[in-house]
Structure 1
Amino acid sequence: MRILHTSDWHLGRSFHREGMLGHQAVYVDHLLDVVEHEQVDLVVVAGDVYDRALPPVDAVRLADETFARLAASRAQVVVTSGNHDSAHRLGFGSRLIDAAGVFIRTDAATVGVPVLLEDRHGQVAVYGLPYLDPDTLREPWGLPGRSHEAALGEAMSRVRADLDGRPGARSVVLAHAFVAGGEPSESERDISVGGVSLVPTALFDGIDYTALGHLHGRHTLTDTIRYSGSPLAYSFSEARHRKGSWLVDLDATGLRAAEFVDAPVPRPLARIRGDLQVLLTDPALARHESAWIQATLTDDTRPLQAMEQLRRRFPHTLVLAFEPTAHRDSATPTAPTQGRSDHEITLDFVADLRRVPATDAEAAVLLEACDACCDDPDVDTLLTAGAG
């Protein structure tokens, strides 16, 4: 049986206000092409189909189109819900959709009930484990502790109890969790409970293939336990990620091979750092001119109109930060504010931020702003007279 493992589509998500739905649609086209060209028998989607519990209409439309196209393809499909999904919304109508060969599993109560598939070697039992919230399941499942390990451990006990009655069956598990050995990025939502989110790989011992979702980078924890990662980058911390899906082959004895299939990259990501003039003139940075850019300026003095200048060379600059090379003297005491006007305090702030005093014109604008925010419009009259 040939399996395509994907996860964390996050349909409807944006990237620093850049709409991603068009790029997500391109990934769906790629996914269907892989199914046909690689003769995939089963597609598994390990959670976070949507980016939020109440997804936008366009995202729902794309998901509907995707599942319809997959149902019409040569492959069968097993989908689970992630921590970003609403289990009830994603799972609505799942019993009817099963008949089309798309099996959506969002109910924790059914974790021990597999989707049963056949190939020439016999039966393959596919267990879809949705995201399991320990707080929600602690009482109904009688969990020994308030942790993801306890919730997932109970789910795997139910999986193994079912497998014990299926001698010779090979097993595939989908799980949406933070499993030890993976590396998080900045774009995942924290799922820790009481500061603990990790679960050990030992929970999946004996399973022929475990398809993980939640982390956005691809990871091979063991030969049989893998994260596919998200098909698109959703933060600059993913700039060096290789995006795609795992193409997995099961033979009569279990996992035979796993190959990573690269996804199309809509636009590369780059992090650049340095003085503004260096970034604007360094020929080595030419390769990043069409990339989405996160720029960090190290100028001692904050340049004026820095974003506008950067975008003349790097038109897709999305994030700009300032980290002066010269370290500020942390021992310098903060000037007292008592007995000083709002205008004086504001001027000190500007000088501290930019490391140069405000110009006369800037000081005049700041004075007008202070007056506009003050109950007494004449509060800085003496300062105005002095400035004249």
Structure 2
Amino acid sequence: MRFLHTSDWHVGRTFHGADLLAEQDAVLAHLADVVTAEAVDVVLVSGDIYDRAVPSAEAVQVANRALARLRRAGAELVITSGNHDSAPRLGAFGDFAAAGGLHLRTAIDHIAEPVLLNDQHGPVAIYGIPYLEPEPSRHALGVPDAKGHNGVLTEAMHRIRGDLATREPGARSVVLAHAFVTGGQGTESERTIAVGGVEQVGGDVFDGVDYVALGHLHGPQTLAPHLRYSGSPLAYSFSESAQRKSVWLVELDAGGLADVRRHELPVPRRLAKLSGGIDRLLTAEEYGDFVDCYLSVTLTDSVRPVDAMRRLRERFPHTVHLDWQPENGNTTATLRYAEAVRGRPDSEIVRNFLDDCRGAPPTGTERKLLGLALESAGRGES
């Protein structure tokens, strides 16, 4: 049996204010092409279908199109809820969806109830563990003394192994889980799931099954041959700009895990970081290849350029983040403003506002305007 392991779609997410629905629709459509080309039997989606518990109508449409394409391509689908999803909403009408090949595992009560599929070697039991918030989950699972994520996932896997022991000998098994497993590397785009300062669980919690399809961390990574993160299909922070997004193609034979291959996904729009003076960034030919990228720009001009974002977007329309770090090391200019003004009288704060914020004193015209402002406030130029 062949699986495609994906996760963390985060449909409806924006990137520094930029709408990503078109990019998400495009890369998720590619998954259906992979299902067809690789004769995939089952698609596993390990949580965070949506970016919000209450997704927009447009986000729901994109997700529905993606699921419909995958089903038309011939694959069964098994989906669990992540920490961004609303488990009750995602799991609504789950019993009816299963009749059409969409198996939703979003309820704690169904953790030990596998999706049972068969190939020429016999049955495969696919278990879905929805994201387990430790405090309510420990009571729902009947283990009030369980500690944090490790405790509730340990109980979930205990139930799964118990059910698996009742299956016919040689039955193979797959588990979907949404968690931060020790050894995984996070990025800037995951929402923390720390409870009491602890969010990680040990990989040995998942021992005893043939393959564990993990979700939550956005970079593709292998913790053990049977224990992997697919990562998100798109980059959701500039910390992911060097990653090659991908999915795992997983093969089970009669003896269990037989093969895992990585399939890299297309990149609808690249991410890049640029640094330098604004005049050079706007004119140098060497930056021409970045015109279509989502950009994070760090300006190094000694004086903060006026209207920098508008000017940058004239050449780089997808600039979404801007920072200023003057190369002359003007530390006063880079202090947080609250620190820069501490202890100064109001008149000095007003006179030096521009100097503090952009690293250059006010011009003659600006000084006159600031003087008039002080006079109108009754404070004068002292």
Task: Please say whether Structure 1 and Structure 2 have the same fold, judged by a TM-score greater than 0.5.
Answer: yes
SS of residue matched to 2:262: strand
Distance 2:224 2:342 in 1: 59
C-alpha deviation, 1:265, in angstroms: 1.1
Distance 2:213 2:340 in 1: 54
SS of residue matched to 1:192: coil
Structure 1 equivalent of residue 378 of structure 2: 379
Instruction: Confirm whether residue 153 of structure 1 aligns to residue 154 of structure 2.
Output: yes
1:189-338 matched pairs, under 5 angstroms? 189-328=191-330, 337=343
Structure 1 equivalent of residue 163 of structure 2: 162
Structure 2 equivalent of residue 374 of structure 1: none
Distance 2:225 2:252 in 1: 12
Structure 1 equivalent of residue 60 of structure 2: 60
Aligned residues: 375
Structure 1 equivalent of residue 100 of structure 2: 100
270-279 or 103-112: bigger deviation: 270-279
C-alpha deviation, 1:145, in angstroms: 3.8
Structure 1 equivalent of residue 73 of structure 2: 73
Letter in 1 for 2:362: A
Letter in 1 for 2:261: E
Is the contact between residue 78 and residue 105 of structure 1 (CA under 8 Å) also seen in structure 2?
Answer: yes
139-148 or 173-182: bigger deviation: 139-148
Tell me the C-alpha RMSD between the 2 structures.
2.2
- String of CA shifts for 1:125-169, please: whole Å, max 9, x gaps: 100011000011122331434311111111111111111112211
- String of CA shifts for 1:227-281, please: whole Å, max 9, x gaps: 1111111111110111121111111111111112222211100011223234334
Structure 1 equivalent of residue 356 of structure 2: 352
Distance 2:55 2:64 in 1: 12
Letter in 1 for 2:159: R
Letter in 2 for 1:268: R
Letter in 2 for 1:155: A
C-alpha deviation, 1:110, in angstroms: 1.4
Call closer, same or farther: CA 1:161–1:336 in 2, change over 3 Å.
closer
- String of CA shifts for 1:308-344, please: whole Å, max 9, x gaps: 33233322211100112333568x9967646x33x43
Distance 1:365 1:146 in 2: 62
Q: Which runs of 5+ in 1 are unaligned?
A: 372-376
Instruction: Confirm whether residue 361 of structure 1 aligns to residue 365 of structure 2.
Output: yes
Letter in 2 for 1:63: A
Instruction: Confirm whether residue 122 of structure 1 aligns to residue 126 of structure 2.
Output: no
123-132 or 282-291: bigger deviation: 282-291
Is the contact between residue 134 and residue 148 of structure 1 (CA under 8 Å) also seen in structure 2?
Answer: yes
Q: Which runs of 5+ in 2 are unaligned?
A: none
Distance 1:86 1:367 in 2: 55
Letter in 2 for 1:136: P
Identity %: 48
Letter in 2 for 1:379: G
C-alpha deviation, 1:68, in angstroms: 3.2
**TM-score normalised to the size of structure 1?**
0.90
Distance 1:289 1:67 in 2: 33
Distance 2:371 2:178 in 1: 55
Is the contact between residue 146 and residue 193 of structure 1 (CA under 8 Å) also seen in structure 2?
Answer: no
Distance 1:368 1:252 in 2: 84
Distance 2:262 2:154 in 1: 28
- String of CA shifts for 1:155-186, please: whole Å, max 9, x gaps: 11111111111221111010001111211111
